[in-house]
Structure 1
Amino acid sequence: MTSTLLLCFPHAGAGPSFFVPWRSLAPAGLDVAPVALPGREQRLAEPPLRRVADVVADVLPWVRERAAEHQGVALFGHGLGAVLAFEVAGRLAAEGAPAPRGLFVSGAAGPASRLGPGATGLPDAEFLDHVERAEGYRRPAFDNPALRMALLPVLRADIAMHERYRPAARRRLNVPITAIRGSQDQLIGAERLAQWRDHTAADFRSACLPGGHMYLLDFPAALLGLIDGRLHHRVPSAR
């Protein structure tokens, strides 16, 4: 069986290790490839980037290299990761590379939706409280003072990046898009999720899984099953 490379882009403040457990959960033929961004884990010594365009330029050489080893590529991202996956898919299309088999955007409104300033510039305690209330998710690592000092600059850079993001001007992607949310997500409702429909000239589907904004923490196997089913045209979710 030929494998599909699933490039996984992390949500704000996260690193590639978030996706490592997915490798053992993924259905056969789905090769989970976490994307490592500057400023975290094995790239901790590098300063975190604050512009989506800079992140895209940074990861593209690695993406091209990994894609060359597989028969097909799909992209997944949650929150900020959805934006990064979308922009990387756009760059690949602009370069004339083979179109990805699918773009899976999770827990994010369409790219034309303005996140706007909110948390950027707040003092540390207020910043973390704002982000946690918005996401409905507490990062346990931030309860450790040493880890908090190490990780806070990355989270701040990611949130600033997302708040100032504006999508690159381009035609609709000729890539199927599947937009996914948790059924109890108070941050991204069904209408905001459906905004992704306007960014593909191919098929669009939306899907819900149990849970809140960070549903993927509790239901990674169900999410990977949904992705695999969509790639193999077995997902009956609403259009």
Structure 2
Amino acid sequence: MTQTGASAGHGERTTLLCVPFAGAGPSFFHPWRAPAVGRWRVTSVELPGRERRILETPYRNVVEAAKGSIDDVVADLGPGARTVLFGHSLGAVLAYELVHLLSERDVHVERLVVSGSPGPWTQRERRAAGLPDEEFLARVEEFAGFRHEALDHPEMRELILPALQADCEMHEAYVPSTDEPVSVPVTSLRGDVDGLVTAEEARQWQDATTAEFSYREFPGDHMYLVDHGREVLDVIEAECARGH
């Protein structure tokens, strides 16, 4: 788990638990800390195969990843924690699985915010897993409309590629652990020109909750949040305030 220093204590402040997208690690969300001050403590799920856990074997199954992460997540949040979960793309379905598990662990989830993702029961039709390395990277870049600059450096690519391939495999093969919807409010976010997820698919999350559902769009493609982190935080704050 990574967290801010100034607000790291388990006080009344709500924690914003971020769940990274394919190939990403906690550091993606570090720039969110400053604009989150006074609103949330920002922390991230740290998956094996990246950053501080680069030498560990990455998961290839979303449900197993959630179950394998839940103890660390609960320890980081603290007892009776108030939490908002945010997940983009792969992170959305992993966050969804975590909400199911957190409901059994004395953690109050105020809202699940999913981004760039069809509803959890929709199978991914366009696939990258299993392709040779160069084709795989080209397909991922096409999907995301975004290329990580580290992939242009052979040594970095060698480090990043295994986790990215494992992430894509587990995302594309994802089947929810249960047909039961969650009981927390859900907000679904999407870039308005996302070529990977349609507005209709992003709205499918309404069926994944028995509570309130809302849908918001941002200017941009599948990776809109790279340029709109502050605006995403503003929307999450507004949605949470509306829910009280």
TM-score tier after normalising by the smaller chain length: over 0.9
Tell me, in whole angstroms, the C-alpha distance in 2 between the residues paired with 1:183 and 1:209.
6
Q: TM-score, normalised by structure 2?
A: 0.91
Tell me, in whole angstroms, the C-alpha distance in 2 between the residues paired with 1:54 and 1:117.
23
Pairing of 1:1-239 with structure 2 (within 5 A): 2-68=12-78, 71-93=81-103, 95=104, 97-116=106-125, 118-233=127-242
- Secondary structure of 2:118's aligned partner: coil
- Secondary structure of 1:42's aligned partner: helix
Shift of 1:61: 0.8
Shift of 1:230: 1.1
Q: Describe the shift of the 1:168–1:71 C-alpha distance in structure 2 as closer, same or farther (beyond 3 A).
A: closer
Identity of aligned residues (%): 42
Shift of 1:37: 0.4
**Deviation digits for residues 197-236 of structure 1 (CA, Å, limit 9, x no counterpart):** 001000000001111111110010000111111111189x
Q: TM-score, normalised by structure 1?
A: 0.93
Q: What residue identity is the alignment partner of 2:51?
A: E
8 Å contact 1:8–1:34 — kept in the other structure?
A: yes
Task: Kindly report the root-mean-square deviation, in angstroms, between the aligned alpha carbons of the 2 structures.
Answer: 1.7
Tell me, in whole angstroms, the C-alpha distance in 1 between the residues paired with 2:222 and 2:170.
19
8 Å contact 2:66–2:97 — kept in the other structure?
A: yes
- Secondary structure of 1:77's aligned partner: strand
Gaps spanning 5+ residues in structure 2: where?
1-10
- Secondary structure of 1:101's aligned partner: strand
**Deviation digits for residues 7-45 of structure 1 (CA, Å, limit 9, x no counterpart):** 100000001100111101215131110111001111112
Q: What residue identity is the alignment partner of 1:74?
A: V
Q: What residue identity is the alignment partner of 2:14?
A: T
Shift of 1:117: 6.6
Gaps spanning 5+ residues in structure 1: where?
none
8 Å contact 1:3–1:70 — kept in the other structure?
A: no
Tell me, in whole angstroms, the C-alpha distance in 2 between the residues paired with 1:44 and 1:138.
20
How many matched pairs? 234
Q: What residue identity is the alignment partner of 1:112?
A: W
Q: After TM superposition, which residue ranges in structure 1, 4 or more long, deviate above 6 angstroms?
A: none
**Residue in structure 1 matched with residue 7 of structure 2 by the alignment:** none
